[in-house]
Chain A
Amino acid sequence: MDRDSSRREGSCSHDSIAGEISELRSLYLDYLRGEIDLLRSVVVRKDLEEVREVGHRLKGSGGSYGFHHISELGEKIQYLQDHTEWDEVETLFHQLEEMYEQLAEGR
């Protein structure tokens, strides 16, 4: 996701409830911050089941608020295979952190 598109994400769109209720965008980013903090701790613990659960929640929620890239990344995390290398898990985690930083910057 480029920087401009990340700033556009979550802004008013016809199909996003966030377009009608703009304060939810900020609320979602606070929620996302919490999920990232949780994900960091479960990545350190190498708890793949918990990692997948966080991915599942992000997949299920992001797009409803117009954050489609969050849902796409969440889906990748949700369906990580048992034999996944932890380097790959960490890479996805860093991508999520980066997305958050870009979105938070555009708040």
Chain B
Amino acid sequence: MTKMIMVVEDDPMNAKFFELTLKRRGNFDVIVTEDVDQIFSLTRQGKIDMIVMDVSLCNSYYKGERVDGITLSRLIKQEKSSREIPILLATAHVMKGEQEAFLRESGADGYVSKPVIDPNQFIRKVNDLIA
């Protein structure tokens, strides 16, 4: 059965890039959303095999507060129904130590730097986590 990957991303061009790369090079099914209610609904139903999570989200709200990808990842990992879903953080932050700190804070399983220069390497990372 084809695996379903959720891409949580607010930037339309990054979202399109991830969607096309995952579909065309990885043969995955993909859903793109930044809607927190939809994110939790799908993860709680067990419909998601993996998440690619943008760190900086501008339009995502949880209980009335804006949330970023770090907080969202942590919330997903805290829930029994979704804690096993692998999360790959996607970030354009490149300052020394930032990415490691994001991993620690979020509980995510890995990260990828944006821009993604090598789509094949990105797909390999996804495959490693989803296996």
Asked if A and B bind, the verdict is: yes
Q: B1 near A: Cβ within 8 Å?
A: no
A47 within 8 A of B: no
The distance in angstroms between the C-alpha atoms of A62 and B14, with both chains bound, is 9
**B21 cross-chain contacts in A, Cβ below 8 A:** 17
Does B94 lie within 8 Å of A75, measured CB to CB? Answer: yes
Whole-angstrom CA separation of A29 from B105 in the bound complex: 35
A31-B13, A79-B95 are contacts. A59–B115 as well, Cβ < 8 Å?
yes
Contact of A15 among B12, B95, B118 (CB under 8 A): B118
Q: Which of A22-37 contact B (CB under 8 A)?
A: 24, 27-28, 31
Interchain pairs with CB closer than 8 A, number: 68
Query: Which of B13, B56, B115 is within 8 Å of A27, CB to CB?
Result: B13
- The interface residues of chain A, by DSSP majority, are classed as helix
Interface residues on A, range: 20 to 34
Q: B47 within 8 Å of A by Cβ? A: no
A sample of 10 cross-chain residue pairs with beta-carbon separation below 8 angstroms, ordered by A number, consists of A15-B117, A15-B118, A17-B17, A21-B20, A21-B24, A24-B20, A27-B13, A28-B13, A59-B114, A59-B115
Instruction: List chain B residues, Cβ under 8 A from A16.
Output: 119
Question: Taking CB as reference atom, which chain A residue is nearest B14?
Answer: A61
CA distance A74 to B95 in the complex (A): 14
Residues of B contacting A64 with CB < 8 Å?
Answer: 13-14, 17, 114-117
